[in-house]
Amino acid sequence: MRSALVVGTGLVGTSVALALSERGVAVHLRDVDPVAVRTAASLGAGTVDGSADVVDLAIVAVPPALVGRILADIQAEGVARHYTDVASVKAGPQQDVIALECDTVHYVGGHPMAGAERSGPLAARANLFEGRTWVLTPTPDTETETLNTALELVALCGATPVLMGAAAHDRAVGLVSHTPHVVASLVAMRLEQAEERAVSLAGPGIRDLTRIAASDPQLWVDILSANAGVVADILEGLAADLDDAVAGLRAMASTDDAKRSGGAQIVEGMLRRGNTGRARIPGKHDGRPARYEAVAVLIGDQPGELAKLFTDADRAGINIEDVRLEHSTGQLAGLVFLSVAQGAAVGLEETLRARGWRLR
């Protein structure tokens, strides 16, 4: 791939453009928002001036409802040899593409499974897709060369390709992405009118659970409207589970021993099934569930403490899989949770203690 056109310079479109530009691809940018496209260009994502030649690949990075119309327009211009999109739902856009009689031979739908709470070009980064899954949804007549070009795009962005049907994709993301966002927002709503003292007790659990609720509401209205039926079905099942959980908890509050015991069994079964479901989430390296252990280190608020901790942790010769910080406002100390492969925690703890770190 030598040249590309990115239509839409929001978070994902600009991140794609940055990744391609870093790898030597000549990227041209388009957006109906002149400020957004100039901002993306100033970040090094590409050039605003149109290409005089036909580019190798056009990437449509607009909301799902606009994919079909934009694709039809740029195909009518003949701007590219091959076309793809990065919309977060696939069945609706694919139906629009077919209804508008777009060229489906040279088009393949796509969805990189990556994002951030912030939107817009200023939130973009070239490594947004590294190590992430990128779904491709070919039409029945997508030609091999077009699919190979899309696969090259995925590789240049550092992602892992997965081929799926459009409807199967939408059911999957409804479960693992769209429904969790609604649930996070519902939980965060409970904080809106909560007493200040209660909110001040918020720790990493509620922060992790509600993190994605900080995303742009209008963006998510667009996403959910394109997959509303699927998400509604999943939420309906979740509502039934919530009814069971409420019944179990009410029973646990009873003065009747038999009811309390039965309620506890219901709640324990729910929690155990949650453990089982959580364990199915793939690990970062091999696509299989990974189990990690966390080492909690007390750390001061002085400059350079994190760098010193990472340097000392490196002496253990153990790969740090993930890092999480827990720091309370107004406190002069915090906790750093270093996640390592199962069985590696003891060695890391010994090294850190020897270097004078306090572990929790």
For residue 124, give the DSSP letter: -
What is the mean predicted confidence (pLDDT) over 298-309?
Answer: 78
Domain that holds residue 333: 292-359
Mean pLDDT calculated for residue range 54-81 = 95
Q: Kindly report each contact of residues 36-44 with a partner whose C-beta sits within 8 Å and lies 24 or more positions away, as own/partner.
A: 36/9, 36/10, 36/120, 36/121, 37/9, 39/9, 39/120, 39/121, 39/122, 40/9, 40/13, 40/14, 40/121, 40/124, 43/14, 43/18, 43/121, 43/122, 43/124, 44/18
pLDDT-derived band at 332 (thresholds 50, 70, 90) equals low
In angstroms, rounded to a whole number, what is the distance separating the alpha carbons of residues 316 and 250? 49
Structural domains of the chain, count: 3
Residues 182 and 97 in one domain: no
Residue 97 lies in a domain: yes
pLDDT at 325 exceeding the cut of 80: no
Do 158 and 198 fall within a single domain? no
How confident is the model at residue 337, as a pLDDT? Answer: 84
Span 204-213, average pLDDT? 88
Give the pLDDT of residue 60: 98
At residue 327 the predicted structure's pLDDT band, cuts being 50, 70 and 90, is: low
What is the chain's mean pLDDT, rounded?
89
287 pLDDT exceeds 50?
no
Residues 180 and 247 in one domain: yes
Whether 7 and 122 map to the same domain: the answer is: yes
180 and 210 share a domain? yes
Q: Is residue 286 part of a domain?
A: no
Residues 274, 304, single domain; the answer is: no
**Residue 285, domain member (yes or no):** no
- Tell me: do 202 and 273 sit in the same domain: yes
pLDDT given for residue 290 in this prediction: 55
Could you tell me the pTM of the whole model?
0.73
pLDDT at 321 over 80: no
Helix, coil or strand: residue 107: strand
The pairing of strands 322-327 and 160-163 is unpaired
The tens digit of pLDDT for each residue in 12-36 reads 999 999 999 999 999 999 999 999 9
Please write the tens of the pLDDT for every residue from 113-156.
987 767 789 999 999 999 899 999 999 899 999 999 999 999 99
Same domain, 251 and 314: no
231-285 pLDDT tens trace: 999 999 999 999 999 999 999 999 999 999 999 999 999 999 999 998 888 765 4
In this structure, the number of other CB atoms found within 10 A of the CB of residue 102 comes to 23
- CATH number reported for the structural domain that contains residue 228 in this entry: 1.10.3660.10
With respect to residue 284, please indicate whether it lies within any of the assigned structural domains: no
* Bridging pattern class, strands 322-327 and 333-341: antiparallel
Is residue 286 over pLDDT 50?
no
